[in-house]
């Protein structure tokens, strides 16, 4: 089969190559990929790929071989899946606990845009605790996670302040329910009950300073790729006794398939709207990766297989 493999070359991060078709384990289904989406974090990993790396975590397609143990979808079924690797290919094996069926009301492109960003947003808000009536500061809101967090949190009754440097994205986030848009975290007016921080560096300390006493800051990324430095005594200037929590979306008490099914259901009901920044043929994957890395794409980039 054809699959994309990393090159380590920033100018052309992946190339299409002939590889062996994967053999599913008993608890895995074989899926014929119809579309996959790309996450910016995946572009970072392509900079220094390890031998044997096969990228691709967000896919939608058809189950062509159900799991041998009888779990998961049976027969030829439209699905969205979240394999840990190998999704940028014609076929991929996916554990059945990382698959959800796609109803007719949810297109393949929409489905492919859901997994990593949607799962992160859903689980991030659960980690933050009850949000009804609470003030939330969300940094790095321009990306897919920020889009989903804003829509889900606003629908749940939170008052969201979204930080984005892009005016167009700010307008879109406001349309999705953000109560306030700022273009620099330093311009955010606190105090906030919850801070969801994804950029790291100085932004973390600046966001923390806007947290209310005994508030919660959930640190879920470092997109700025710069480490953060905090001063113990700065907490006494406002966020005294605050909780600082590290977050990883895979460290959760809920199952991937259940959460994927929840995202699909919300999309089918028109309560969640995947933001698609680019849809193109998978022949354009290398160009799409560099454009995503360099922030020339806003919203999810989805590649379709012809």
Q: What are the tens digits of pLDDT across the range 196-210? A: 999 999 999 999 999
Of 90-99, 133-142, 228-237, the poorest mean pLDDT is in 228-237
Which residue has 């933050």 as its token pair? 128
**Tens of pLDDT, residues 50-64:** 999 999 999 999 999
How does DSSP classify residue 234? Answer: G
Cβ atoms of 306 and 279 within 8 Å: the answer is no
Cβ atoms of 112 and 58 within 8 Å: the answer is yes
What percentage of the chain carries pLDDT values higher than 90? 85
Which is nearest to 142 in space by CA: 167, 124, 179, 122?
167
Distance CA 276, CA 284 (A): 16
- Averaged pLDDT, 145-152: 97
pLDDT at 133: 97
pLDDT at 305: 94
Q: With cut-offs at 50, 70 and 90, classify the pLDDT of residue 297.
A: confident
> CA 191 → CA 21, 151, 213, distances in Å?
53, 21, 8
What percentage of the chain carries pLDDT values higher than 70? 100
């Amino acid at each position: 089969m054809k699959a994309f493999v990393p090159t380590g070359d920033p100018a052309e991060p992946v190339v299409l190559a002939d590889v062996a078709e994967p053999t599913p384990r008993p608890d895995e289904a074989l899926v014929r990929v119809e579309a996959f989406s790309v996450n910016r974090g995946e572009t970072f990993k392509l900079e220094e790929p390890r031998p044997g790396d096969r990228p691709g975590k967000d896919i939608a397609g058809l189950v062509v071989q159900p799991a041998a143990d009888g779990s998961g979808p049976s027969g030829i079924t439209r699905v969205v899946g979240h394999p840990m690797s190998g999704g940028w290919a014609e076929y991929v094996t996916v554990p059945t606990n990382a698959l959800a069926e796609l109803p007719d009301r949810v297109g393949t492109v929409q489905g492919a845009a859901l997994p990593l960003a949607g799962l992160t947003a859903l689980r991030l808000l659960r980690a933050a605790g009850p949000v009804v009536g609470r003030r939330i500061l969300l940094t790095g809101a321009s990306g897919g996670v920020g889009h989903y967090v804003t829509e889900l949190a606003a629908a749940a009754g939170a008052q969201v302040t979204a930080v984005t440097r892009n005016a167009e994205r700010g307008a879109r986030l406001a349309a999705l329910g953000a109560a306030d848009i700022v273009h620099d975290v330093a311009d955010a007016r606190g105090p906030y009950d919850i801070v969801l921080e994804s950029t790291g560096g100085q932004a973390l300390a600046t966001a923390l300073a806007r947290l209310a006493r005994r508030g919660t800051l959930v640190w879920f990324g470092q997109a700025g790729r710069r480490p953060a430095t905090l001063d113990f005594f700065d907490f006494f200037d406002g966020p005294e006794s605050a909780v600082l929590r590290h977050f990883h979306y895979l460290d959760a008490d809920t199952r991937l398939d259940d959460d994927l099914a929840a995202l699909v259901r919300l999309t089918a009901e028109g309560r969640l709207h995947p933001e698609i920044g680019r849809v193109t043929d998978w022949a354009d994957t290398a160009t799409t990766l560099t454009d995503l890395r360099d922030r020339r794409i806003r919203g999810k980039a989805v590649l379709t297989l012809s």
